[in-house]
Structure 1
């Protein structure tokens, strides 16, 4: 008889099959403690070790016509403390399990006594039991109902651990289940309490350090929905562009959440020539690539498609993506000779950009590999990702001073120096300006096999002296 119609709904069939006489009492001694159970109680979870034993004894008595002593006990060498729980279960009561040790021992004895209904109840229990950092937790399964929070660490661990025990016990026909230590997680119990509070709907005041710690814990426990909700993020409405925007750190962007909607005109965007070697016309190109302009100009002829993003498991709609880069080794380079602007990423910043956007760009006939450069300046070669950039829409600060006009910045002699000519692959240099960005906010535009980094907001310094001025004494 199927006692669980659907494990996910925990449907219980209260009917008790009449395997043993309901009113007859049976004596069972577990360890050093005797228990008396009715035939109804033993039949409520059957067929089992008990029903098979007493049914055989009853049939043997009937065949030999010898009266059996009702006080003849079935003696079993197992834990009487754990059998107390089974005793209440057979009587029809709810079984309260205190911790992971009791749960593990009860599961082992449910297999030993071959109690199918109790095993099903434990397999589909409303709680996970685990020791986290030395502290016992009884975690409601219902907390993980949101898409992305399942399958999680507990679900996978329980499924693998207890399924393996049962498989070994049944397949090898062991006398008793093999010993199994209860689940232990070597993580912070305090942080796990915060995770449970957040899953329960609580709001916590988090500083950056605490937030990052909780994000790492979510990744460990595979709570992807909660992880996305913990990321620092801003979603708002741009009334001028009439679309929603999302601001995320580059490190927090998932490739799966990216999209490229139809183009939308970005007025005032400077058209900067690409640094990559022109490729043959792609079947996806509507027009051949135009020659590079000799002077910066308003990009009215290019209708850039701006990258959009939807947080996995959280957002229902895509938002236009603004991504923040606060990793070191990001510079803006103005080339006075070619009238071009590039944002140069190296180290971790370049790796992150390529990892996040490489697939989307390749899908749109933009190969990130063609933007890598190895400029040599002052005999110090370095490998950088040199991306064409637009600064005309940017709220820009250099050395703490807001830049009102890019033209005035470029023409200011105090910032002029030799910079690599990123439009050339021969290691040439040219007069220009290099600004080291400390924080910056960008949009990524794509059209006809080209990309454009559109700066929204940026802060930078121009020299070592300015860096030293920003330092604070301990």
Structure 2
């Protein structure tokens, strides 16, 4: 419902109806005589518009054309009424019917993508500033996977998800009214070039519909990992960074025992901008050294960071047990990702990201040319320190492991064996207790292949290290195998 402002109502309520109408008419610029009718032929259809209608969205192609005729007639002393010639333009009369309605004061709303681009192109061609401005505020029409979508602009302008594919691409094209046809001279332009409605045919329409639902604030049920990867792939394609972070596998919960918020996140999903370091705290253990923990907040989504619990899977981690404690060796892409993460943590601690000499780096092509390994960072050796606690949950060869590995804390902790101790005759011999298995503590040189591990990243004092502190991976939950036979036991047949 339309309503006048209080000031307007007070100024016009006491006037007769014809006076109120005149007050409204005076809002139209005095460009052409308001009562005079001007003929415009678009294609094969003749339109007759009053000077008031043409002047309502001016200066335009029409107002300038007829104004020049009136001035030419007046300069010759002729009657302008008999000197007005019909303006002929070879354009689509069906589209112009909507433009005529706009000039007569009606709101014209695009019906689909084709209608939108035709209205916009003709509004540009006729130089109708108000219609151009109105269309700039309309929803975006775009075809995704041969299905048309109408997307409100405010949905695409969410700070967490912009700039995106639309604001940088098609929406940008329709938001520059002064340069819609770059490289073309508007003065001699007979007709504008044809414009196709925006389309992205190589994306899935159903997947985009679910992303659009997320953009509007509604939940979407992720059916399985394949479905999640489809959503993530298209979220990255359209640069919906906030939606991507919502879809990344994660778990956020409050730990009442440690009285901290915790976030479980896979190593490959950690973003540099989300990493932070907690304030120094006392380590509640045997040595009570001040420690800090790596924290994480998903960019664009989380308002506060939580303590990071890192998930590393893919059987790309090997634990090596020795008198110096437990160390983790990483392989393939996991090794590079761990190294990059430690570089980020080092910069958060105001440490250099690498320990390589500057001259060597410059001679070899810079830091990016060096192999990504934890040993090149100031927080670790090539084999990363792993700390076990009494609360660490361990599954070994598919069964619960009841051995206490908390003695493998660090170098000055007393290991559960001596390097010269004789290994048992049958290290794989197990003592079953219910559903668990106790095979004793690992011997010197024993190795475990970690199928999946959860680690808390702790910044602690380092004795004899490359810097005053080091980053230790505190085991939260480990699923490992102790031998090739154990790994074979976990294998699955194709199709299972």
TM-score of the aligned structures, taking structure 1 as reference length? 0.78
User: Does residue 180 of structure 2 align to residue 165 of structure 1?
Assistant: yes
Query: Displacement of 1:431 after TM fit?
Result: 4.0
The alignment partner of 1:195 has SS state of helix
Which residue in 1 is equivalent to 2:266?
A: 249
Per-residue CA distance 1:426-454 (angstroms, 9 max, x = gap): xxxx9421111111111111243311111
| Equivalent residue runs for 1:400-411 within 5 Å | 400-406=398-404
Query: Displacement of 1:217 after TM fit?
Result: 1.2
User: Does residue 377 of structure 2 align to residue 390 of structure 1?
Assistant: no
Residues 342 and 374 in structure 2, CA contact (< 8 A), matched pair in contact too: no
Hey, what's the Cα distance between the residues in 2 that align with 1:355 and 1:306? 17
Q: 1:352 to 1:183 in 2, by over 3 A?
A: same
Per-residue CA distance 1:25-83 (angstroms, 9 max, x = gap): 22111111111212111111100000001111122222334344488421001122221
Hey, what's the Cα distance between the residues in 2 that align with 1:71 and 1:208? 70
The alignment partner of 2:264 has SS state of strand
Instruction: Mark the runs of 5 or more structure 1 residues left unpaired by the alignment.
Output: 1-13, 269-297, 375-383, 417-429
Which residue in 2 is equivalent to 1:305?
A: 292
Hey, what's the Cα distance between the residues in 2 that align with 1:212 and 1:265? 40
Query: Displacement of 1:104 after TM fit?
Result: 2.1
The number of equivalent residue pairs is 406
User: Does residue 352 of structure 2 align to residue 340 of structure 1?
Assistant: no
Instruction: Mark the runs of 5 or more structure 2 residues left unpaired by the alignment.
Output: 1-25, 357-372, 408-415, 418-422, 429-442, 461-467
Hey, what's the Cα distance between the residues in 1 that align with 2:143 and 2:111? 12
Q: 1:65 to 1:266 in 2, by over 3 A?
A: same
User: Does residue 419 of structure 2 align to residue 432 of structure 1?
Assistant: no
Hey, what's the Cα distance between the residues in 2 that align with 1:350 and 1:94? 61
Hey, what's the Cα distance between the residues in 2 that align with 1:369 and 1:463? 35
Per-residue CA distance 1:355-401 (angstroms, 9 max, x = gap): 33422224433756686579xxxxxxxxx941011012421111112
User: Does residue 337 of structure 2 align to residue 352 of structure 1?
Assistant: yes
Which residue in 2 is equivalent to 1:126?
A: 138
Hey, what's the Cα distance between the residues in 2 that align with 1:387 and 1:165? 57
Tell me the C-alpha RMSD between the 2 structures. Answer: 2.8
The alignment partner of 2:159 has SS state of coil
The alignment partner of 1:168 has SS state of coil
Q: 1:250 to 1:173 in 2, by over 3 A?
A: farther
Hey, what's the Cα distance between the residues in 2 that align with 1:144 and 1:113? 29
User: Does residue 474 of structure 2 align to residue 454 of structure 1?
Assistant: yes
Per-residue CA distance 1:297-333 (angstroms, 9 max, x = gap): x4x1532210011111111111111111113311111
The alignment partner of 2:132 has SS state of helix
Query: Displacement of 1:170 after TM fit?
Result: 5.3
Which residue in 1 is equivalent to 2:245?
A: 228
User: Does residue 41 of structure 2 align to residue 25 of structure 1?
Assistant: no
Q: 1:152 to 1:373 in 2, by over 3 A?
A: closer
State which drifts further: 173-182 or 210-219: 173-182
Query: Displacement of 1:254 after TM fit?
Result: 0.8
User: Does residue 57 of structure 2 align to residue 60 of structure 1?
Assistant: no
2:95 to 62, 82, 93: 82
Residues 139 and 153 in structure 2, CA contact (< 8 A), matched pair in contact too: yes
User: Does residue 150 of structure 2 align to residue 152 of structure 1?
Assistant: no
Hey, what's the Cα distance between the residues in 2 that align with 1:436 and 1:321? 23
Per-residue CA distance 1:108-144 (angstroms, 9 max, x = gap): 2112111111222222x23111121222211111223
Hey, what's the Cα distance between the residues in 2 that align with 1:53 and 1:214? 53
User: Does residue 284 of structure 2 align to residue 267 of structure 1?
Assistant: yes
Q: 1:96 to 1:415 in 2, by over 3 A?
A: farther
State which drifts further: 450-459 or 175-184: 175-184
User: Does residue 183 of structure 2 align to residue 176 of structure 1?
Assistant: no
The alignment partner of 2:281 has SS state of coil
